Structure 1
Amino acid sequence: MMAVVEKTLEMPPATPREHTEAAARHMDGTSTSSDPVQSASATRPPSSTTSGEPVLGKPSTSAAAQPTGQVTTDGSCGATFGNTVCGDWAQGSCCSMYGYCGNTTSHCGEGCQSGPCTNGPVVPAPKASPAPAAQKPGTLVKLGRSGVPAMHAGLMPNGKVVFLDKVENYTELKLGNGQYAYSSEYDPTTQKLTPLAYKTNAFCSGGIFLADGRFVSLGGNAPLEFIDPTVGDGFKGIRYLERSASDASLDGQAWSEPGNSLDTARWYASVQIMPDDTIFVASGSLNGLDPSKPENNNPTYEILNADGTSKVKSTNMEILSKNQPYYMYPFMHLLNDGNLFVFVSKSAEIFNVGGGNVVRTLPDLPGSYRTYPNTGGSVMLSLSSQNNWSNDVVICGGGPYQDISAPGEASCGRINPMAQNPSWELEAMPEGRGMVEGTLLPDGTVIWVNGAQEGAQGFGVARSPALEVLIYDPAQPVGKRFTTGPKSDIARLYHSVALLLLDGTLLISGSNPVEQPILTPSTQNPFVTEFRNEIYTPPYLQGNPTRPSGVALKTKNLKANGSTLEISFYAPPNAKEVKVSLYYGGFVTHSVHMGHRNLFLDVANFKPGQKNQKINVTLPPNKKVAPAGPYVVYILVDGVPSVGQFVQVS
């Protein structure tokens, strides 16, 4: 393990490190996998940037005005691919604006280059709808720093936040070996930062908590030896981080990388833990380059063992291959029957991981694209026995193409995938937003923050920051769910994060929409690298109300088997109602919260008006409802949460 040093502040270079021929050489490494998904390209094509960050740009349909009539042989089509047409291509005969054949509204909607386009949206997505100011908007304050650009984040069982970044030519922290740190451990209580070392480039990885509580980062990008020769290729990387609520000796320890790897290279992969403790990993890029080029794509999934080691070879996943190039960082939510809700681009389905088959194809969501590089945000609303542990998925925001001129999508869709006849209920935010991310609160409301009103994900392709906090109350009728909170004065664009802390406040951090860190804005780069954290105090804590206190759980090793847990606590005066929230924060990156969920547990023996309380709660019935891993228990009395405590569910 590399030695670490305390926080070290240095001034970065005035501008990003210049692009060099070495960068292209680093991105031109030979692929080592023999899997068919990589057979289209034996080597990684050279990159024009040090990172290989994909830029699709604004598509041009005029160049596709004269299709040749030649039929595709690989599912590519249109102006980019020799003006071929789709013909009777099995996945659909419409040619999408970026040149892929299919039959969803991703292909047959705006920008379709050829084909019948019979599946266009029946109902248009609603435009922006004004929302009133919340009676209790909550408050925003700046507090602490991330130390490294906050590309990825997670709340660890020791109550601290881990930030994870790519290889950079500047951060605010250094390691004992003199190199910059690309990961940090942030203590929200003391504001202390500790640099953490890793061995492989974690650029745009996915992640989750394993069943044993370890945090895992999967995939990444190529090495950049001219910046840091100590960090290797992360395309197949698997990184582990262990923290404990009871063992402080783990604090500050580096990421562990014993050398096991993914089956195929994955950049921008999404991850979900399954009821049998295995890890489902889907999507990603093979090369870290233009996803409109088929040789770069990896529209497959693989499964890892419960310990995070490789188990199953990569397998094609049709919803990913049908929705290129918008197939990366798909939204995934585990449903109460053990299947996955999967959303890519504008398309959704229920997928059976064990059988490798589609259980149900869901209706397409009207509006713009919703996943990378025009990512919106997705949240599965809180679960409880009252709805049989089944609930709605909400998806908001997005955009029509990857260019700075792209208008942010204002609409939201809400659907219950388990309903007999599922359909999207449409509503709208007060403004269009790309890169907007939703975070569940323990009371079941959702906070939407970050993003831009114009542009997309990528370096230098967003403007008009969306600064307002939006509060979403799922219990209200459609059209009345959004209210507005405070406004920030910090642009939170590409590579920003938000996540809930143990004290029930929301940590907001990041924004690094430049290829290498820049601190001083310029005409060319008006939005720079942001290290300042903000804390959003939600309405339930506004005015400093009395919290439940003295919370004691009979055990912190919980079983998802319907058993009973005894909890004692002190209730505030005149308490009327109690709820118990079992909360999973997950792995946060690029507006995607992997594994994120909240469950309300059934409560017995609460005595209104009494100070000393001893209640019994019924734990989730199985690991389809509550997959294994670290959760936080919050006691809410009359809507006000206690400080949370980590537990381990198995």
Structure 2
Amino acid sequence: MHMFIFPNTNKAIMFDSLLFGPSQIRLPKMEDDEEEEEDSWAHAVEYDTDTAAIRPLKILTDTWCSSGGLSANGTLVHTGGWGDGGRSVRYMISGCSTCDWKEYPEALNGTRWYSTQHILPDGSFIVVGGRSMYNYEYVPEEGKCNEKLYGLPFLKKTTDPCENNLYPFVFLSTDGNIFIFANNRSILLSPTRNKVVRELPVLSGGSRNHPASAMSTLLPIKLHDPEVIQAKVLICGGAKHDAALLAEKAIFVDALQDCATIDITNPKATWHKETMPSPRVMGDMIQLPTGDVLMINGAKKGTAGWNFAEDPNLTPVLYRPEKPKTQRYSELTPTTIPRMSHSTSVVLPDGKILVAGGNPNYYYNFTGLKYPTEVRVEKFYPPYLDPFLASDCPSIISNFKGKKVKYSDKIVIQFKLKKAKVNKIDFKVTMYAPPFTTHGFSMGQRLLVLRINKLISIGSKVLQVTVAAPPRATIAPPGYYLLFVVYRGVPSTGIWVQIA
């Protein structure tokens, strides 16, 4: 399953493959519709995150195991998939109540199945890897076809008998280079020179990419000092190198239980390991507005694949990177719904987490199985939504809709807070780039902690904070971000801000 949230409308798009049989939602029947019955089922929906209302959408080419991201103007740019969808680029416009997919089936040069997409500083997209695709390419302008791809031997070197290098972890570093992690190795690639500029140390312990399927994210990018802007990567969980081969024989080995961080802006960086509370494979890793990281979904044994996992990991974990090493992990309230292969999660503007999906079966099978195809949708409430913390919750008054923020601009935000006296040190202002999430990886996810220049009171329990916008596009690629004011670890509801 794949999921992302549109800016301003706050509507989620959820979609799957065309291959797995009838869903439980039908497409609207047109008067001149003479298609076969099996084509009348919706495999994509627009989901209203406030009301749970759905609008069926029609996919034309197969989106199974595809990739995507939001463009600078808020349009979904979506690439690849299975079969006739492997070379497709698809578009969907935000804020259109009647729009559906717009597809170009031969836009890509390579067949991109299990590839990863990421936005670049100029607003274009790079697409990396895929099954037997040891290369990368750039998404062409809408309506055009890509004539060139770039070889990347690194991807072939990281393939093993289980593959374990699909859906590579891809992040834009703060220096403009692209970090690519596959299996247990990583490189920095210059997208302007199309050259590998550095190979990083091996991460020991096992494999981290599909089907071993660890979790990964960039840790919050702090902009307090514009001259020193680090980029640190966090990777947690995964599986032993041969776990998928064993799972084919119904032997489910324990997932990995380690977490590792590395500063990819440090030429001499090494991996630093920790132990999380439980093993996890196929989990989702989500940046929260506070700068903490949520791990949710997944399994404790096995790998991704068709019934290749057992022992669902029902307990979310909160990772606090600013805490001492022994205090970083907290286990949270467990769910009762197993969500292993093909589950997804996204952050909503109100700080809740939308959680959906889960299907370890080759076809949709809704009943009679230990792990049936999951159609229930949940919202997870992180600890900062505890009602006892309501008085610490800021409420933003400012509205940036229709306005664009320029790099290095001053951003002035007015907000209410039920406190008579406050201290600047208790505040953060964060900006979150909403990701495209599938197979346990949130493509394009990015959280920035802005530099606070001034905090003043402008009325009864009304405050105004002035922050510095990100200095350049390598720090924050152009596009829409959710902006939050955080007070003592409690975030406001986010507002949408567009960086031009």
Determine if the TM-score, normalized by the shorter chain, exceeds 0.5. Answer: yes
Q: 1:331 aligns with which of 169, 176, 180?
A: 169
What is the Cα deviation at residue 606 of structure 1?
1.3
Aligned partners of 2:62, 2:359: CA distance in 1, in Å?
16
Query: Structure 1 residue 461 and structure 2 residue 312: aligned?
Result: no
Aligned partners of 1:581, 1:528: CA distance in 2, in Å?
38
Query: Structure 1 residue 160 and structure 2 residue 11: aligned?
Result: yes
Aligned partners of 1:308, 1:637: CA distance in 2, in Å?
46
The structure-2 alpha-carbon separation of the partners of 1:613 and 1:329, relative to structure 1 and needing over 3 Å to count, comes to same
Query: Structure 1 residue 274 and structure 2 residue 112: aligned?
Result: no
Partner of 1:195: 56
Q: 2:384 is paired with a residue of what secondary structure? A: helix
Counterparts of 1:348-387 in structure 2, within 5 Å, are 348-386=186-224
Q: 2:361 aligns with which of 510, 514, 523?
A: 514
Partner of 2:376: 532
C-alpha offsets along residues 289-308 of structure 1, whole Å, 9 cap, x if unaligned?
xxxxxxxx111100124658
C-alpha offsets along residues 577-615 of structure 1, whole Å, 9 cap, x if unaligned?
332111112110001110100011122331369512222
Give the AA of the match of 1:317. L
Give the AA of the match of 1:156. F
Percent identical pairs in the alignment equals 30
C-alpha offsets along residues 216-268 of structure 1, whole Å, 9 cap, x if unaligned?
2210112xxxxxxxxxx111111111113xxxxx0352111145521111100
User: Would the aligned equivalents of 1:218 and 1:238 in 2 still touch at CA under 8 Å?
Assistant: yes
Give the AA of the match of 2:88. G
Aligned partners of 1:312, 1:603: CA distance in 2, in Å?
45
Aligned partners of 1:180, 1:235: CA distance in 2, in Å?
21
Query: Structure 1 residue 236 and structure 2 residue 87: aligned?
Result: yes
Give me the CA root mean square deviation.
Answer: 1.8
Partner of 1:320: 155
Query: Structure 1 residue 415 and structure 2 residue 262: aligned?
Result: yes
Query: Structure 1 residue 596 and structure 2 residue 442: aligned?
Result: no
The structure-2 alpha-carbon separation of the partners of 1:310 and 1:279, relative to structure 1 and needing over 3 Å to count, comes to farther
What is the Cα deviation at residue 551 of structure 1?
2.2
The structure-2 alpha-carbon separation of the partners of 1:276 and 1:195, relative to structure 1 and needing over 3 Å to count, comes to same
Could you list the runs of 4 or more consecutive aligned residues of structure 1 that deviate by over 4 angstroms after TM superposition? 306-312
Aligned partners of 2:200, 2:69: CA distance in 1, in Å?
26
Give the AA of the match of 2:169. F
Aligned partners of 1:613, 1:305: CA distance in 2, in Å?
45
Q: 1:204 aligns with which of 65, 70, 78?
A: 65
Aligned partners of 1:591, 1:552: CA distance in 2, in Å?
34
Give the AA of the match of 1:647. V
Aligned partners of 1:505, 1:184: CA distance in 2, in Å?
20
Aligned partners of 1:448, 1:486: CA distance in 2, in Å?
12
Give the AA of the match of 1:263. N
Give the AA of the match of 1:342. I
What is the Cα deviation at residue 311 of structure 1?
4.4
Higher strand share: 2
Partner of 1:255: 101
Aligned partners of 1:190, 1:540: CA distance in 2, in Å?
23
Q: 2:25 aligns with which of 154, 173, 184?
A: 173
Q: 1:605 is paired with a residue of what secondary structure? A: strand
The structure-2 alpha-carbon separation of the partners of 1:345 and 1:322, relative to structure 1 and needing over 3 Å to count, comes to same
What is the Cα deviation at residue 175 of structure 1?
0.6
The structure-2 alpha-carbon separation of the partners of 1:280 and 1:310, relative to structure 1 and needing over 3 Å to count, comes to farther
Give the AA of the match of 1:496. S
Q: 1:319 is paired with a residue of what secondary structure? A: helix
What is the Cα deviation at residue 382 of structure 1?
0.7
Q: 1:477 aligns with which of 324, 334, 339?
A: 324
Partner of 1:629: 479
Q: 2:345 aligns with which of 492, 498, 503?
A: 498
User: Would the aligned equivalents of 2:279 and 2:300 in 1 still touch at CA under 8 Å?
Assistant: yes
User: Would the aligned equivalents of 2:435 and 2:444 in 1 still touch at CA under 8 Å?
Assistant: yes
User: Would the aligned equivalents of 2:433 and 2:447 in 1 still touch at CA under 8 Å?
Assistant: yes
Partner of 2:414: 568
User: Would the aligned equivalents of 1:560 and 1:626 in 2 still touch at CA under 8 Å?
Assistant: no
List runs of 5+ in structure 2 lacking aligned partners.
30-36
The total of aligned residue pairs comes to 471
Counterparts of 1:42-441 in structure 2, within 5 Å, are 151-157=1-7, 158-167=9-18, 168-177=20-29, 179-222=40-83, 233-244=84-95, 250-285=96-131, 297-305=132-140, 307=142, 309-311=144-146, 313-324=148-159, 325-386=163-224, 388-400=228-240, 401-402=243-244, 403-404=246-247, 405-441=252-288
The structure-2 alpha-carbon separation of the partners of 1:610 and 1:383, relative to structure 1 and needing over 3 Å to count, comes to farther
Aligned partners of 1:566, 1:312: CA distance in 2, in Å?
45
Q: 2:123 is paired with a residue of what secondary structure? A: coil
User: Would the aligned equivalents of 1:206 and 1:271 in 2 still touch at CA under 8 Å?
Assistant: yes
Q: 1:447 aligns with which of 273, 285, 294?
A: 294
User: Would the aligned equivalents of 2:407 and 2:499 in 1 still touch at CA under 8 Å?
Assistant: no
The structure-2 alpha-carbon separation of the partners of 1:183 and 1:357, relative to structure 1 and needing over 3 Å to count, comes to same
Give the AA of the match of 1:208. G
Q: 2:217 is paired with a residue of what secondary structure? A: strand
Q: 2:55 is paired with a residue of what secondary structure? A: strand
The structure-2 alpha-carbon separation of the partners of 1:396 and 1:321, relative to structure 1 and needing over 3 Å to count, comes to same
The structure-2 alpha-carbon separation of the partners of 1:551 and 1:410, relative to structure 1 and needing over 3 Å to count, comes to same
User: Would the aligned equivalents of 2:172 and 2:178 in 1 still touch at CA under 8 Å?
Assistant: yes
The structure-2 alpha-carbon separation of the partners of 1:472 and 1:309, relative to structure 1 and needing over 3 Å to count, comes to farther
User: Would the aligned equivalents of 1:211 and 1:306 in 2 still touch at CA under 8 Å?
Assistant: no
Partner of 1:228: none
Aligned partners of 1:328, 1:425: CA distance in 2, in Å?
24
What is the Cα deviation at residue 534 of structure 1?
1.5
The structure-2 alpha-carbon separation of the partners of 1:617 and 1:607, relative to structure 1 and needing over 3 Å to count, comes to same
User: Would the aligned equivalents of 2:178 and 2:188 in 1 still touch at CA under 8 Å?
Assistant: yes
What is the Cα deviation at residue 572 of structure 1?
2.2
Aligned partners of 2:47, 2:380: CA distance in 1, in Å?
16
User: Would the aligned equivalents of 2:104 and 2:143 in 1 still touch at CA under 8 Å?
Assistant: no
Give the AA of the match of 2:466. N
Q: 2:59 is paired with a residue of what secondary structure? A: coil
TM-score by structure 2 length? Answer: 0.90
Aligned partners of 1:417, 1:555: CA distance in 2, in Å?
34
Partner of 2:463: 613
List runs of 5+ in structure 1 lacking aligned partners.
1-150, 223-232, 245-249, 286-296
